[in-house]
Amino acid sequence: MDKPSYNYDIVRGFVNWSILWGVVAVLVGILIAFQMVLPQLNFPPLFTYGRLRPLHTNAGLFGWGLGSFFAAFYYITQRLTRQRVWSDRLARFQLWWFNATIIAAAVTLVLGYNTSKEYHELEWPLDIMVVVLWVIFAVNIVMTVVKRREEQLYVSLWFILGSLVGVAVLYVVNAAEVPVSLFKSYSAYAGTNDANVQWWYGHNAVAMVLTLPPLAVFYYFLPKTTGAPLYSHRLSIVSFWSLVFMYLWTGAHHLLWTPVPDWVQTLAMGFSIMLIAPSWGSVINGYLTMNGQWHQMRTNYLVKFLILGITFYGLQTLQGPSQAVRTFSAFIHYTEWVPGHVHMGTMGWVSMVMFASIYYMLPHLYGRRVYSVPLANLHFWLVLLGQLGYSVSLWIAGVQQATMWHAMNPDGSLHYSFMESVLAMYPYWWVRAFAGVVYLAGVLVFVYNIAMTVRRGEPVAEAV
Amino acid sequence: MWERRPIIFLLLATAAILVGTIVTMVLPFAWVNTEKDRIEAVAPYDALQLAGRDVYIREGCNNCHTQTVRPLVAEVIRYGPYSKSGEFRYDRPHLWGSRRTGPDLARIGGKYPDSWHYHHLEDPRSMVPGSNMPAYQFLETRTVDPAFTRKKMDVLGFPYTDEEIAALDGKTEMDALVAYLQKLGADIGWREHAQVQVIGELVNPYAPDPDVLSEGARLYADNCAQCHGVALDGDLGPELTGARDIGEAELYRDLWNGIPDGGMPSFSTLGQKKIWKIVTFLMSQEP
Ligand code: HEM
Ligand code: HEM
């Protein structure tokens, strides 16, 4: 078998930059977490909570999330097609365009140029930058796949291609806006329609950015690290098609009890519950792939990251559908519970899987063994602890907050003022902020380990 | 077979995505913002309010505040009547939000006098101790751009007059933001409709014993001191040292209903017991 020469340069580039943006996201996350308890940490006009929170979410989802997916996708696609990436120059250009977009995003968000739509805050000139970025990327991946030297398309490629079209459709439709000036525009949709379009986008950003891509990565790296083949190819295919079909019906579960037509809410609720099946299809596929390999949970740190990651995905896809039930939504919607849910997905599922994929790729990218496995283990425990501290404290907080909001006196008046519920949140907010610091410590161990791998890692005998 | 054809695969995936999209995202346009959900009383934003709305967006207030009241008992009591679709037809973009770190603002209009908002936005903790809302004093040093605002009104197709635009001259962003807040949820005039006549004789169930008085003092500090002063000596509201002259029944009515035209909020959400305790506390004060 002839070994094509792969473009690892681009993978290295995306790995490095995505980690940098990840550190920024976590730092800003910690800053806004401390602003919640110490409001004097707001430095107006540029650095107030209202402007920094979108910076945090964008840096996290797009800088770290998408950036690391780009890295993994370039790696996986080349390996699975046994074909060098279609255009090296386009890929290089994409890396710099990506960084330029993230920097422009950070600057404009801090300056207050935003559309207010969650996960779509960027103003219209930046929307155009994002679209260009996506088109370049899509063309390069699709052309590589078209020119592949391997007939079969492994399931990871399906998930990658699926997210390519998914993101494209979502982003463009939700971006429809009328510019007033270079950095100000108004949505093309009004009121309830705008809300419904936004959450059709918002929830499917979860699908197309935080679900399909990490699943593509998971499906590729789990068999690679364990050495055991994927339990069932068929199951993964069924999961894929039902995921991409069903996700799009569920956006209105973010809008339960609002003026959005009832039938739209009911459909969203029904499909959210049905989503458990395809989601758990992937979880079970992962667990069964581990059949006979469970001892690797002790011996192989990569397996720990991946299995914990898919477990958090499993929990996330049980918790999510329950939040989509009207009665439960009435209780936890708008409360601290929701950031608890979000960060189990982002800090747990997405980040865990991406950490594993980067560790796995390092020896291939730099020809050196990972510098220190004990440090990788330390990284694992710190991020796990940080994430659990974050989510668990906020779930408890959310339940208490909701109880206080709804508590009534026998004479039909409210038992607590809003401010009493705010004051009750402070202890939890403190725990969350310190849990974030623990998570950051884990991430810094990761960065150190990578830097040392590049400089001092033991060379790998032959090129892999 | 087709699982080996990437282009066909892409088309199929797109088709799969479009089904749910069309049903749950495109179809609802036939229900929303139609004649059926129109509310006559709801008017577009005037120029100052629109400028304020854009300050609200720029500062990301929506990261902590929602703007939809759900049809749930406690929520309607806390914030006012639940939100209807027709109230949002001029909202581009919508600002419903997803987190309530601070309270819902869909019906904040008319709840407080303007002066309260100025003080609160300059320094939230001076009005509400323990609040974690950022301070927005700098909005007072920035002015609204009339020409740009005119352009915005044109793009949105909102009616305006030249005088209205001229009047923007010299207005600060703070003025604009407060004007916007005062419009929120106020078009439907619910505060006037929510006024209840307290009928029958009002009899204070509490005697001025130390427990009741200390509870009353605490409630006063939490709810009233921001406007009437910690020592009842008056600030945004009149001094209350001589409140006992008003009489128990009248005090109860003032607290329950508020004095909407004078900028005194209604405290009916506190419930009868707490209001009586505050009244008992006020009655115990020596002028
Ligand atoms: C079957 C799968 C899932 C369902 C049905 C689901 C459902 C939900 C629901 C109902 C909410 C709204 C909560 C509220 O505001 O009341 C929500 C929020 C959210 N979920 Fe999930 N979830 C699922 C999986 C995931 C996964 C895997 C992630 C990955 C990280 C995720 C990330 C988020 C995010 C970021 C939000 C916050 C949106 C916002 O309000 O800004 N979800 N989810
Ligand atoms: C040390 C780690 C982190 C800390 C301390 C942190 C902190 C925060 C805080 C304080 C919020 C605002 C929550 C609120 O509205 O009350 C937030 C929201 C959010 N963060 Fe993080 N974060 C961290 C890591 C991450 C990472 C790694 C990601 C993405 C990959 C992420 C994605 C998000 C998202 C999507 C939201 C919006 C949640 C919502 O709408 O409910 N965060 N984060």
The pLDDT value given to residue A49 = 98
Rounded mean pLDDT, B74-83: 95
Q: Residue B77: list chain A partners with CB under 8 A.
A: 408, 412-414
Using the Cβ of A96 and the Cβ atoms of chain B, whether some distance falls under 8 Å is answered with: no
* Res. B200 pLDDT band, cuts 50 70 90: confident
DSSP state of B31: T
Would you tell me the crossing angle of helices A9-37 and A49-58 to the nearest 10 degrees? 150
Rounded mean pLDDT, A416-432: 97
Q: Give residue-wise pLDDT tens across range A295-344.
A: 999 999 999 999 999 999 999 999 999 999 999 999 999 999 999 999 99
**Contact at CB, A112 and B58, closer than 8 angstroms:** yes
How many angstroms separate the first and last alpha carbons of chain A?
Answer: 14
Q: Does B197 score more than 80 pLDDT?
A: no
Ligand 2 contact via A148 beta carbon (within 6 Å): no
Q: Give residue-wise pLDDT tens across range A139-183.
A: 999 999 998 988 888 999 999 999 999 999 999 999 999 999 999
Is domain A9-456 in CATH 1.20.210.10, yes or no?
Answer: yes
Q: Which of residues 365-404 of A touch B (CB under 8 A)?
A: none
Rounded mean pLDDT, A48-65: 97
Closest CA to A219 of A306, A277, A302: A306
Matching CATH topology for B47-191 and B210-284? yes
Torsion on CA atoms B135, B140, B141, B142, rounded to nearest 10: 100
Compare all CA atoms of chain B with the CA of A164 and give the residue at the minimum distance: B10
The pLDDT value given to residue B5 = 84
Q: Give residue-wise pLDDT tens across range A403-415.
A: 999 999 988 889 9
Count CB-CB contacts under 10 A for residue A66. 25
CA distances from B274 to A52, B105, B204, B228 (A): 39, 24, 11, 18
How many angstroms separate the first and last alpha carbons of chain B?
Answer: 91
Q: Are residues A334 and B103 in contact, defined by beta-carbon separation less than 8 angstroms? A: no
- Rounded CA gap, A181 and B154, in Å? 13
Instruction: Give the torsion sign (CA, A164, A167, A173, A178).
Output: negative
Q: Does B121 score more than 50 pLDDT?
A: yes
Compare all CA atoms of chain A with the CA of B154 and give the residue at the minimum distance: A180
Taking the whole predicted model, whether its pTM rises above 0.90 is answered as yes
Which amino acid, A9?
Answer: D
Q: Give residue-wise pLDDT tens across range B28-73.
A: 999 999 998 999 999 999 999 999 999 999 999 999 999 999 999 9
Q: Does B226 score more than 70 pLDDT?
A: yes
Q: Does B287 score more than 80 pLDDT?
A: no
| Selected residue with higher pLDDT from B261 and B9 | B9
CATH class of B210-284: mainly alpha
* Res. A462 pLDDT band, cuts 50 70 90: low
**Domain definitions of chain B by residue range:** 2-31, 47-191, 210-284
**Contact at CB, B93 and A186, closer than 8 angstroms:** yes
User: Which residue puts its alpha carbon closest to atom 39 of ligand 1?
Assistant: B98
Rounded mean pLDDT, B203-221: 92
Q: Which fold has domain B47-191?
A: Cytochrome Bc1 Complex; Chain D, domain 2 (1.10.760)
Count CB-CB contacts under 10 A for residue B214. 12
The pLDDT value given to residue A411 = 83
Which tokens go with B94? Answer: 């919508």
The pLDDT value given to residue A70 = 97
The pLDDT value given to residue B201 = 79
Count CB-CB contacts under 10 A for residue B185. 25
Angle at CA B100, nearest 5°, toward B95 and B106? Answer: 45
DSSP state of A184: E
Burial, A27: exposed, middle or buried (Cβ in 10 Å; 0-12, 13-18, 19+)? Answer: middle
The pLDDT value given to residue A2 = 52
What does DSSP say about strands A177-181 and A184-187: parallel, antiparallel, or unpaired?
Answer: antiparallel
**Contact at CB, A165 and B17, closer than 8 angstroms:** yes
**Contact at CB, B132 and A166, closer than 8 angstroms:** no
Q: In which element (H, E) is residue A288 found?
A: helix A276-289
Torsion on CA atoms A105, A68, A307, A274, rounded to nearest 10: 60
**Contact at CB, A258 and B92, closer than 8 angstroms:** no
Query: What ipTM does this complex have?
Result: 0.95
The pLDDT value given to residue B2 = 54
Ligand 2 contact via A61 beta carbon (within 6 Å): yes
Q: Give residue-wise pLDDT tens across range A375-394.
A: 999 999 999 999 999 999 99
**Domain definitions of chain A by residue range:** 9-456
Using the Cβ of A248 and the Cβ atoms of chain B, whether some distance falls under 8 Å is answered with: yes
Q: Give residue-wise pLDDT tens across range B63-73.
A: 999 999 999 99
Count CB-CB contacts under 10 A for residue A65. 25
Q: Give residue-wise pLDDT tens across range B138-177.
A: 999 999 999 999 999 999 999 999 999 999 999 999 999 9
Q: Are residues B264 and B254 in contact, defined by beta-carbon separation less than 8 angstroms? A: yes
Q: Which residue has the tokens 């004007």?
A: B179
Q: Residue B66: list chain A partners with CB under 8 A.
A: 334
| Selected residue with higher pLDDT from A371 and B5 | A371
- Mean pLDDT for chain A? 95
Q: Does B1 score more than 50 pLDDT?
A: no
Rounded mean pLDDT, A277-291: 96
Q: Give residue-wise pLDDT tens across range A430-446.
A: 999 999 999 999 999 99
The pLDDT value given to residue A1 = 42
- Rounded CA gap, A197 and A190, in Å? 10
